[in-house]
Amino acid sequence: MEKRKSTGRRHHAYVFYFLLLIASYQSFSQHSIYTPVADALQANTHRTFLSSDGKYYLHNNAGNTFFNYWWQAHGMDVLLDAYLRTRNDVYKQRMKNLLLGTKDKNGGLYPTHYYDDMAWLAIASLRAYQNTNDAEYMTALQALWQDMKTGQHAGRGGALQWNKDAPHSFNACTNGPAIIFATRLYRINGNAQDLQTAKDIYTWMKGALIDPVNGAVWDSYNDSTNHTNKDWIFSYNVGTWIGAGLELYKVTGEQVYLDDAVKTAEYAMTNRLYNGVLWANETGDGDGGLFKGIFLRYLDQLAREGNIPPATRDRYINALKSTAQKVNTVAINKTNWLVNKDWNVTAETVTDYSTQLSGIMIMELASNFDKAFFFKDYNYGGYTAALVPGRYTKAQLNAMGILDNDISSLTVPKGYTVTVYVNDNFSGTSTTFTANTSYVGASWNDTISSLVISAAATPLHK
């Protein structure tokens, strides 16, 4: 992987506005305390990191204009996080601008030199396509996937080499995301070869880069030296292996994939949880600034969507909550909305975009701790919408991105109940869900027109 404004009264007014916004949000228990923090981070990042031509986000907020391709992919992901949370079209437009700007900065093409970089943009593009139906994202992911497959090696189970000049290097950072992408692509195109590709790469990676004892993820294997780098165990590789197992489990129903994901999650919980903060030992900037956020994204998905015991789910969620609390109260500088690379220390005046993205990721996922999630497809697939407790008519569901008669699965936070109705305005036949439901059943699939979410007595974000 490659290693790579405003001040004065307007700035102070900006900060004061968001401090007031936080105070107002904290007075309403139905809103997560992290929502205004996510808003502030998103706004400040766009204001202080965006390039002068508006095409990409800078290396840092101090004027370093270096273009980091794979950082932009995660920039798209966090903009989509904000769009799904707010349904504000400004985020959708920024996401599209970033896709096209990345293409322009990359010489007018989506494919690039590093296969892992392409995998990240492919994942972001697929997710954006599912939630916006914008055909340009499909154009991007198809071009990326076609190019990515040129890096596969049949003798390694179809595993991808790291980059186009490294035919002997097979890294976790490339193949974990490739499995996630290929599995998700299969869910929208039904191409059995894509699923088989994901399964084959998974089999190779499990045998070559996963510690069979504790589920740790080793960095890389070089077939010219027959050397496996077991010294580098990074959070993002651990995260994408968790994500790969979860995605294949949701598609195939094969328990081994979920067991593998949980085993690796337990490795992180046992070995990388320091005083309630996950991966607090990783304090690098540059590319390393993104690592922790990626891990947290996939652990969050396992905690929300995995068919795991309630006690295990609670442990993961509690670790995510304590990590979010530390980032919010310590790592984020509330005078300039910058995030520090070390989550045990408050940011000062300069930070890298990668580090900023990890902070946004944890605040965005934390803002959803107290929400029920609804999905277009069974097994938590297709477009996604997250809703706070309340009553939702058909029009209100539409405003949050949920089409009429289009829900097939949902996740329910602990202590919540979701009552769904076959007709608008909470009328007609109804039923209640109190736990995650990977398929609502034939009688309720694609029939829901309104719903009510009731919360536990104690707000779950505390």
Taking the domains of the chain in order of start, what are their residue ranges? Answer: 376-454
Distance (Å, whole) CA 38 – CA 82: 8
Does the pLDDT at position 10 exceed 60? no
Residue 199 burial class via C-beta count within 10 angstroms: exposed 0-12, middle 13-18, buried 19 and up: buried
Looking at residue 338, its amino acid is L
By DSSP bridging, strand 372-377 and strand 338-339 are unpaired
At residue 49, the 3 state secondary structure works out as helix
The H or E element containing residue 375 is: strand 372-377
**Helix (H) / strand (E) containing 125:** helix 115-132
What CATH code is assigned to 376-454? 2.60.20.10
Would you state the structure tokens that stand for residue 373, as one six-digit string? Answer: 């999630």
Whole-number Å distance between alpha carbons of 198 and 252 = 11
**What average pLDDT does this structure show over 39-57?**
98
- Which residues face 339 on adjacent strands? 332
Q: What pTM was estimated for this model as a whole? A: 0.92
Looking at residue 32, its pLDDT comes to 85
- Partnered with residue 57 across adjacent β-strands are 50
* Calpha distance 320→135 (Å, rounded): 34
**Amino acid present at 325:** Q
- What's the average model confidence in pLDDT over 393-416? 97
What is the predicted pLDDT for the residue at 458?
46
Q: Is the pLDDT of residue 362 over 90?
A: yes
Please state, in angstroms and as integers, the Cα–Cα distance from residue 448 to each residue in 35, 273, 375, 384, 443, following that order.
28, 41, 12, 15, 10
State mean pLDDT over 370-374.
96
In the block, which residue shows the tokens 């070559």?
A: 208
The overall average pLDDT reported for the chain is 93
150-205 residue pLDDT tens: 999 999 999 999 999 999 999 999 999 999 999 999 999 999 999 999 999 999 99
Alpha-carbon distance of 249 to 181, in angstroms, equals 14
Cα radius of gyration (the chain): 21
Both structure tokens of 236: 């993002």
How many CA atoms lie less than 13 Å away from 446 in the CB half-sphere? 4
Handedness of CA 252, 254, 256, 259 (dihedral sign): positive
